[in-house]
Amino acid sequence: MPELPEVEIVARSLNTIVSGKKIVASELLRSRLVPDCSPTDFADRLRNCTINFVNRRGKHILFDLDNGRTLVTHLRMSGRFMHLPIESENPKFAHAIFYFDGDTRLVFDDQRHFGLMKIVETSKVSETESIRKLAPEPFSDEFSSDYLRTQLRSSKRSVKEFLIDQTRVCGLGNIYAAEVMFLAKVHPEQPANTISAAKSVILHDKIRKVLNEAVSLGATLETNETNIGGSIYGSGSDWAWRVYDREGKECVICKLPIHRIRQGGRSTYFCKRCQKKTAVRQSK
């Protein structure tokens, strides 16, 4: 599933490609993509509006429209956008199509069928169910070192589960959480409320570092207009994870083999020597 950096790059790419474009018609081909709206309502609410800009909140992509509405999209597992010439055929998993004034259309294609869209009043975007509970954006002032410290102290869950909880820290998934814990030298099973004050400052720093690094890399990659999706850092890129997906391979710091454990049904990768558990006590 795309994590914050990938969604950021998708939103930036879309902003470049579709801002200022007028939607003359829309088609909803898989009704469950937009659970609270019929295909007819979907088409009605989007007809003849212009896309002001595209941005992001958490992993949600927001199309700000000039009719006072915002189209909120979550790519989930495999959702992607394709900017195509009008004469080309629809891709196999075309679930929504936005026809532009001119000779192109934007298709939402989703092989795994988990994608979600919602049309909301722009003034109420922050009150939308899935957005309301999100933690502050990781690059915002609100996401301060004090904020993170307070959140850590109030959670008894493992630091790994804490980091991927979007209501605590916004934007980290399985991959970046592993990278953050490795850089911060934190054991993934350490209870969040036992992280020391000094360590929580380091975690805060590494969260921003890891996300920033990935966004910066993504920004250097060329956008493929016909495939704007979450699989940005796939094969062919020079990207290499420090610890994620490296079970049995040498730790880049100490050369010990990287370990994999299961947490909440998902794999966590870490180095037993570099990421030691500290004594479990409620830190001050």
Q: Say whether residue 186 binds Zn ion (CB under 5 A).
A: no
CB 175 within 8 Å of CB 233: no
CB 271 within 8 Å of CB 256: yes
CA distance 229 to 142: 28
Residue type, 273: R
CA distance 161 to 177: 9
Q: Say whether residue 243 binds Zn ion (CB under 5 A).
A: no
Q: Say whether residue 273 binds Zn ion (CB under 5 A).
A: yes
Q: Say whether residue 271 binds Zn ion (CB under 5 A).
A: yes
Query: What tokens does 106 get?
Result: 């934007």
Looking at the DSSP assignment, which residues form a beta bridge with residue 107?
A: 82, 97
Q: Say whether residue 253 binds Zn ion (CB under 5 A).
A: yes
Residue 209 Cβ, how far from Zn ion at the closest point, in Å?
Answer: 18
Q: Select the residue whose beta carbon is closest to Zn ion and give its number.
A: 251
Size of the site for Zn ion (CB under 5 A): 6
Q: Which stretch binds Zn ion (CB under 5 A): 29-37, 155-163, 193-201, 247-255?
A: 247-255
Answer for which of 77, 219, 254, 261 binds Zn ion (CB under 5 A) is: 254
Q: Say whether residue 261 binds Zn ion (CB under 5 A).
A: no
Q: Which stretch binds Zn ion (CB under 5 A): 63-71, 150-158, 231-239, 272-280?
A: 272-280
Residue 272 Cβ, how far from Zn ion at the closest point, in Å?
Answer: 8
Q: Say whether residue 249 binds Zn ion (CB under 5 A).
A: no
Task: Report the 10 Å Cβ neighbour count for 104.
Answer: 17
Nearer to Zn ion, 112 or 273 (CB): 273
Helix (H, G, I), strand (E, B) or coil at 4: helix
CA distance 61 to 120: 13
Nearer to Zn ion, 32 or 273 (CB): 273
Nearest to 82 by CA among 151, 182, 13: 13
CA distance 139 to 145: 11
Q: Say whether residue 178 binds Zn ion (CB under 5 A).
A: no
CA distance 278 to 195: 8
Q: Say whether residue 276 binds Zn ion (CB under 5 A).
A: no
Residue 154 Cβ, how far from Zn ion at the closest point, in Å?
Answer: 30
Query: What tokens does 280 get?
Result: 């479990």
Q: Say whether residue 252 binds Zn ion (CB under 5 A).
A: no
Q: Say whether residue 71 binds Zn ion (CB under 5 A).
A: no
Contact positions toward Zn ion, by CB under 5 A?
Answer: 251, 253-254, 271, 273-274
